[in-house]
Every structure is written in C-alpha cells, then in structure tokens.
C-alpha cells in the first residue's frame, strides 16, 4: 500500500512509519513540526519508499499520486500546562488539527477510495465514571474545561469519521489509544513519562501532581503499533481500545522509576500543577481488541522503561 501518515514526525507517527516501511509499504509522511521533530525521521532520509511533505493538515491536503490508506495522527497530545508543547497552550491549533485536519484527511481517503484510520484517544472518555473503560462507554467530558480543546476535537473527529463511513462509504477505523510511551517522545513534552525519566536521570525529585492516587495504564510503543497495524488490516469500523490494562497509581509509577534508575531523590508533590478534570482512574478494557484483532500487549512496564531510558539519557546528554 501507499500510506499517508499525518503527524509523521511525532512520537507515534515516526514509529508507525518505521513499521509500515518494514512491512514493505510506501509511506508519505506529513507534519508541520508544531510538537514533532525532523530528527524523528532523519534515519529515513534516502529511503526510496519514504517521502515527506511539510504541511499543516488544517489546510487542504494535496498528495500527488494514488493513496491506498490515510492514517491521521497529527495533533498535539500532551495535556501539560507547564509545557509549551501542551495542548492547553495550543488550544486553537489542537481544535483545528482534530476538526479541520480530520476533515481534510478524510477528504483524501474519500477521493482515493482509500481506507482511513483515526488516532483517537482514551480522553474521549473524559474523567470516566465507568471503570475499566469499554468502547461502549460514552464518556464524561466537561465541554468547556481546559482539556476540552483536545477531548472535544477528538470526539468530533470520531463523529466525522463515522459520518464519512455511513454517508460516503469510506472504509474507516478508529483506534482509542491509551497512555503510550517509548523512545522519541519529546523531552519537553510534559507528559508524565518524559518528565519522570528526565528528573530521575538528573537525580531530581519526581514531580507528582496532586496526591498521586490517580491511575494510568501505560503501554509500550511497540505493542501499540502492533495493535494499530492489525486494526489497519482488519475490517473493523467501530472504535477499538488499544492500551495496556495494567493499572498503576502515579505515585507507584514514580517509585518504580526511582527504583529502576537508582534515583535517591524521591518525589515532590505539586498539587497545584494537576490540570482540572485530570482523570482520576484510567484503564482500558481490551476485550474487543483481543476478540477482533487477536491482540494483547506483550511488553511489561519494567521492560518498556528499560528500552526507553537510554533514549532519554542520550537526549539529555545532547541537551
Ligand atoms: P506528538 O506530539 O509526538 O506527535 C504529534 C505530531 O503531529 C507532531 O509531529 C506534530 O508536529 C504533528 N502535528 C500537530 N498538528 C499538526 C498539524 N496541524 N499539521 C501537521 N502536523 C501536525 O504526539 P504523539 O504522542 O505521537 O500523538 C500522536 C497522535 O496519537 C495524536 O493524534 C494523539 O492525539 C494520539 N494519541 C497519543 C497518545 C499517546 O499516549 N502517545 C494517546 C492517545 C492518543
Ligand atoms: N503527572 C504528574 N507529574 C508530571 C506530569 C504528569 O504527576 O510531571 C500526572 C498527571 O497529572 C496525570 C498523569 O500524571 O494525572 C498522566 O499525565 P500525562 O500528562 O502523561 O497524560 P494524561 O494521561 O493526563 O493525558
């Protein structure tokens, strides 16, 4: 297939490029570098199966030649208010990437009779009242809260994707991605894994927002990419959760990272840094992924963190 990936210079987009090229596909990457980096794609320079278009997906998308699949991953993704890369600080760009970017990406798929895959998120469940979260849960989102620019844009993107599927017959898929980590996350991204690893490597206390009792379930990037690739090849049109169901409190997670890195500095609580409507609990129910994709994660948290640590050590060395 010849596959367009928007957000290709980001953390997940760049790993997807590698996987798809490895499977023998041709990849057209697209990005405007608002939160991603050319360095994430530098190793693909000169690869005859890879090409790149610098473009903001909020504007009409033109790709010369036939496209067989479109994977829409372009969007800021970190909620952190202290980071310049956080979507709270890029509110209009985030809504435009989710709304106009999804519309333009769907337009490419429709014009090419191509399949389409939307990168949605566990955030569409908001601060969930159902636990763990199944795809049938409709969510609990504050439509005017600070997180809403991301959550509502992704909810709109899902609705638009289903509209193109039902009305235009586009062959669509929706993946609801739960917290994923690994090499190539931007060091200044502000999400909890880059923050904690950076702090641990520097021997600083880990900044736990709130009291650390909130939970997340962390998936290693290779597992996620495997699930997404299976979804792309499947005929599943309904949303599918992809994530690792092993749930941990943020405080336990901080302690695990300190133990792994031998960081003696402990943790520091920063209640004021916790963003409003920060989900208290998050854990994917992956029954549907198991059933329709035969997928489940394989990489443990300890193993995934061991793969990720050298990347951040190298990045910090460079900085
Ligand atoms: P990232 O910030 O590393 O990557 C996003 C990429 O999209 C960046 O390269 C950025 O420059 C690009 N981009 C943003 N707006 C754009 C625009 N208007 N035009 C062109 N390019 C644009 O983040 P990520 O973690 O790789 O996230 C990728 C996708 O996966 C996002 O859609 C995000 O919502 C979704 N997602 C990620 C996670 C996760 O845990 N990593 C969880 C849920 C959903
Ligand atoms: N968090 C934290 N310290 C940090 C960054 C984040 O305690 O330095 C918390 C944050 O409040 C949230 C959880 O870690 O409860 C996960 O945050 P992240 O930004 O990774 O993404 P989210 O899952 O909220 O989208």
Reported as a single tens digit per residue, the pLDDT across 45-63 is 999 999 999 999 999 999 9
pLDDT band at residue 34 using 50, 70 and 90 as cut-offs: very high
265 C-alpha to center of ligand 1: Å?
32
Q: Looking at residue 135, which CATH number applies to its domain?
A: 3.40.50.720
> Residue 222's beta-bridge partner residues?
none
Is the residue at 264 inside a domain? no
Is the residue at 293 inside a domain? yes
pLDDT tens-digit readout, 176-203 = 999 999 999 999 999 999 999 999 999 9
Kindly state if the Cβ of 58 falls inside 6 Å of ligand 1. yes
Distance CA 137, CA 123 (A): 12
CA angle 143, 146, 152 (to 5 degrees): 40
At 145 the three-state DSSP class reads coil
Catalytic residues: 150
Is the residue at 203 inside a domain? no
Indicate the Cα dihedral angle 10, 4, 240, 9, nearest 10°.
0
pLDDT exceeds 90 at position 67: yes
Kindly state if the Cβ of 98 falls inside 6 Å of ligand 1. no
Kindly state if the Cβ of 274 falls inside 6 Å of ligand 2. yes
Mean pLDDT of 206-229: 98
Residue with the two structure tokens 């990419």:
225
The number of the ligand nearest the C-alpha atom of 31 reads 1
For residue 9, cis peptide bond before it (omega within 30 degrees of 0) = no
Token digits of residue 243: 């994530």
119: nearest Cα among 78, 176, 68, 172 = 176
Residue with the two structure tokens 């702090």:
199
The atom of ligand 1 lying closest to the CA of 177 is 43
Distance CA 234, CA 222 (A): 18
pLDDT exceeds 70 at position 169: yes
pLDDT tens-digit readout, 97-156 = 999 999 999 999 999 999 999 999 999 999 999 999 999 999 999 999 999 999 999 999
pLDDT tens-digit readout, 240-253 = 999 999 999 999 99
Q: What percentage of the chain has pLDDT greater than the value 70?
A: 99
Backbone angles phi, psi at 301, to 5 degrees: -60, -45
At 285 the pLDDT is 98
pLDDT exceeds 80 at position 319: no
pTM of the model: 0.98
Is the residue at 71 inside a domain? yes
Under a CB-based contact definition with an 8 Å cutoff, are residues 73 and 119 in contact?
A: yes
Alpha-carbon radius of gyration of the chain: 19
Kindly state if the Cβ of 278 falls inside 6 Å of ligand 2. yes
At 104 the pLDDT is 98
Handedness of CA 173, 281, 76, 206 (dihedral sign): negative
Is the residue at 263 inside a domain? no
The number of the ligand nearest the C-alpha atom of 30 reads 1
Is the residue at 239 inside a domain? yes
Is the residue at 154 inside a domain? yes
Closest residue (by CA) to atom 5 of ligand 2? Answer: 192
- Arithmetic mean of pLDDT over the chain: 97
Domain span at 167? 2-182+219-245+284-298
Work out the burial of residue 91: count CB atoms within 10 Å of its CB; fewer than 13 is exposed, 13-18 middle, 19 or more buried.
middle
Kindly state if the Cβ of 116 falls inside 6 Å of ligand 1. no
Under a CB-based contact definition with an 8 Å cutoff, are residues 177 and 191 in contact?
A: no
Q: How many domains is the chain partitioned into structurally?
A: 1
Is the residue at 197 inside a domain? no
């Amino acid at each position: 297939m010849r596959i367009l990936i928007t957000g290709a210079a980001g953390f997940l987009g760049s790993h997807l490029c590698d996987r798809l090229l490895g499977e023998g596909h041709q990849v057209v990457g697209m990005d405007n570098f608002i939160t991603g980096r050319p360095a994430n794609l530098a190793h693909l320079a000169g690869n005859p199966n890879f090409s790149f278009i610098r473009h903001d997906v909020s504007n009409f998308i033109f790709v010369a030649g036939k496209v067989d699949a479109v994977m829409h991953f372009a969007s800021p993704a970190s909620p952190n208010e202290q980071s310049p890369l956080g979507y709270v600080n890029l509110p209009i760009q985030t809504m435009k990437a989710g709304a106009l970017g999804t519309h333009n990406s769907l337009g490419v798929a429709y014009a090419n009779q191509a399949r389409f895959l939307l990168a949605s998120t566990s955030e569409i469940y908001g601060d969930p009242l159902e636990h763990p979260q199944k795809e049938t849960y409709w969510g609990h989102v504050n439509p005017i809260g600070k997180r809403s620019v991301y959550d509502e844009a992704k909810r709109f993107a899902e609705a638009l994707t289903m509209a193109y599927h039902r009305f235009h017959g586009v062959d669509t898929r929706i993946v609801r991605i739960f917290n994923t980590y690994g090499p190539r996350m931007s060091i200044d991204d502000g999400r909890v894994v880059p923050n904690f690893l950076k702090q641990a490597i520097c021997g600083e206390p880990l900044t736990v927002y709130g009291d650390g009792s909130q939970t997340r379930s962390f998936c290693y990037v290779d597992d996620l990419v495997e699930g997404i690739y299976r979804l792309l090849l499947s005929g599943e049109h309904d949303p599918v959760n992809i994530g690792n169901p092993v749930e941990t409190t943020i405080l336990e997670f901080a302690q695990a990272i300190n133990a792994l890195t031998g960081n003696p500095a402990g943790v520091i609580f920063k209640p004021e840094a916790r963003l409003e409507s920060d989900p208290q609990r998050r854990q994917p129910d992956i029954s549907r992924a198991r059933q329709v994709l035969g997928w489940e994660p394989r990489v443990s948290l300890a193993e995934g963190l061991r793969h990720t640590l050298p990347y951040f050590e190298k990045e910090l060395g460079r900085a």
